[in-house]
Amino acid sequence: MEKGRVCVTGAGGYVASWVVKLFLSEGYIVHGTVRDPEPSVTGTQNVLKACSAARVKRVVVVSSIATVMMNPNWPQDRVMDENCWSDMEYCKKIENVFGWYCLAKTAAEREALEYGEKSELEVVTVCPAWIIGPLLQPNMNYSSMIFTDLLKGYSY
């Protein structure tokens, strides 16, 4: 018996692939989306607009610690919380995949929260720090790639 339908965006990612597996095991019909190499903000806007049109009540955005940790001006003795954002100009200056990743995640999360404030859609975010474990997808996710790079002696 069908329990309902859910949409999981970024279904090819680590967290989302496990969410999809859980929903399927519980009898839900799952519609998954995967990322196109188009920009993160545009994709976020498209999903949020589609959710609004479908009268979805709440969207949970699995973001990243990358949205808060890249702020060199944040006081060292202050806990990073919802008031701390990665400095997007600082992220641009890094000029490597990590800097661009932090920039894209920060811009997308800001867009999602701003959209939620302007609409009736409740938007909440989760910013995991490190995601590792058994992979369901055939390629390695970014967090696991960083971890293996660190074990190989690379620094970020």
Q: What domains are defined for the chain?
A: 36-130+139-147 (3.40.50.720)
Strand partners, 6: 30
Report, as an integer, the average pLDDT of 40-62. 89
pTM: predicted TM-score of the whole model, two decimal places: 0.78
- Return the higher-pLDDT residue of 71 and 145: 71
Token pair of 17 as six digits = 């692939």
Residues annotated as catalytic (active site), given as ranges: 105
**Rounded distance, CA 87 to CA 29, Å?**
39
Per-residue pLDDT tens over the stretch 52-98: 998 888 898 888 899 999 999 999 999 988 899 999 999 999 888 88
Are 134 and 14 a contacting pair, CB within 8 Å?
Answer: no
pLDDT greater than 60 at residue 37: no
